[in-house]
Chain A
Amino acid sequence: MSTPVTSTDGGSDTRTQATPPPTAKDPRGFARVSVFGVLWSLALIALAVVAGHDALAYGDLISGKPWIQSALETVDGMKPQFSWVVLAVVAGLIGLILIYFALRPRPHLGTAVRAQTGVFMLDRGLRSFAAASAEDVDGVDTARASASGRTVRVDVHGPSAERDAALEGRVQQRLESRFEPLEQPPRVRVRDLGRG
């Protein structure tokens, strides 16, 4: 993790220059599919309890009839009923929801900043950063920022009653300059809402 440094006089230097650690995987939000994962793992444990109960029941170690046998005897000879159709429709919808969550990627939480190691600006930080940067522009009283996808929208309140295109341009320029250290700077949309 360190590289040798050669001194300017041509001699060998025993010092080493440290290099930053490699970038870790980018910050991701909570994988909502894991909620279902917990349910499936609990379902496996429940199945283990059923199987364990029946194994003990067959061995006469506990009293009562085996649950699996009882269930099989209950459903034997059943014919489809209309209530099953209603349940099937509900089950089908639940199935679609499960597939949606299974395929849904974990959300990215931030944007990479140009650095040798892994530095990420969180989305909420980017909003505050944009609003503060906009407020630094001459003529801006207050600013509010929102971010969606790869776009940052900033609404500013300036001194004029009407929309001031020149002010919007100055804010836009300021924000683009402030976002330069980001590896993929977001698109900036500025709107002057007039006197606040």
Chain B
Amino acid sequence: MSGTSVFFDRLVTFVVGVALIAGAVIVIGWKYDLFNWLPEALDSGPALDVTEYGWWPWALAAAALILLLLGLRWLFGHLPSRRVTELRLPGSGAEGRLEVDAGSAVSAACASLQSRHDIRSAKGDVRRDRGQLVIDIRATLEPRCDLAEVATAIDETTAALTQSLERPDLYCRVRLDVGSRGRSKAARLH
């Protein structure tokens, strides 16, 4: 889901909310004669006159097409952030393209992290998120790990990964969870 999509969701939701409140106030005011500028009864005559014009069906057809395209574009904008499967490498050109399997590269980095004693598991991928190309890694730590040491290991591993990919536009986000204490608790002495 892109940031633009969320922005439009917020904007339209806000406008619809304000419109509903305004409509509610007008209806209540109309019923109890609080606004003297409102007519006594609805008059849709002018609107019905518009439907008689020759251009009206064409306007409807154009509106249908535009609304359909906008609706579909907006709907598909809500799909989850896209996973990037292949990354183009420097040196690609008319003679040929150099691409790397992004998932395999990140998996190798995760395997390196997972080999540490203080990281129980790690997995990740490359995805587009809010306008950024992001190395997204989810790692579960051992409960008694040293956070500073883990952070250093992540710095080193992701540095090696981006160096191998040669893509300076990559950002990184590593989300850390902590595993249950069941596995490591046996080592405790009471």
Contact = CB atoms under 8 A, between A and B. Distances in A.
Interface of A: 1-2, 16, 18-27, 31, 33-34, 36-38, 40-45, 47-49, 51-52, 54-55, 58-59, 66, 68-69, 72-73, 75-82, 84-85, 87-89, 91-92, 94-99, 101-103, 106, 109-110, 113-122, 124-126, 128-129, 131-133, 135-136, 141, 178, 180-182
Nearest to B180: A128
Chain B interface mostly helix, strand, loop or mixed? helix
Contacts of B45: 76
Contact of B60 (A27, A40, A58, A117): A58
A91 B163 contact: no
Question: What size tier do the contact residues of chain B reach?
Answer: 35 or more
B44 A72 contact: yes
Given A37-B74, A98-B13, A21 B57 contact: no
A98 B18 CA distance: 8
10 contacts: A18-B163, A20-B162, A24-B136, A33-B9, A34-B9, A51-B64, A102-B11, A113-B147, A126-B178, A128-B181
B129 A95 contact: no
Contact of A72 (B28, B48, B146): B48
Contacts of A96: 17, 21
Nearest to B66: A48
Given A27-B173, A48-B64, 6 more contacts: A18-B163, A44-B68, A72-B48, A88-B25, A115-B151, A182-B147
B97 to A, nearest CB: 21
Interface of B: 1, 5-6, 8-14, 16-21, 23-25, 27-28, 30-31, 40-45, 47-48, 51, 56-58, 60-61, 63-68, 70-72, 74-75, 77-78, 129-130, 132, 134-136, 140-141, 143-144, 146-148, 150-152, 154-156, 158-163, 166-168, 170-181, 184-185, 188, 190
B27 A73 contact: no
Contacts of A129: 141, 143, 147, 178
Given A69-B48, A136-B144, A21 B42 contact: no
B61 A44 contact: no
A120 B61 contact: no
A101 to B, nearest CB: 6
B159 A19 contact: yes
A68 B133 CA distance: 46
Give the 6 A-B CB pairs with smallest separation, nearest first: A37-B9, A132-B143, A98-B17, A95-B20, A44-B71, A92-B24
Contact of A25 (B48, B51, B129, B177): B129
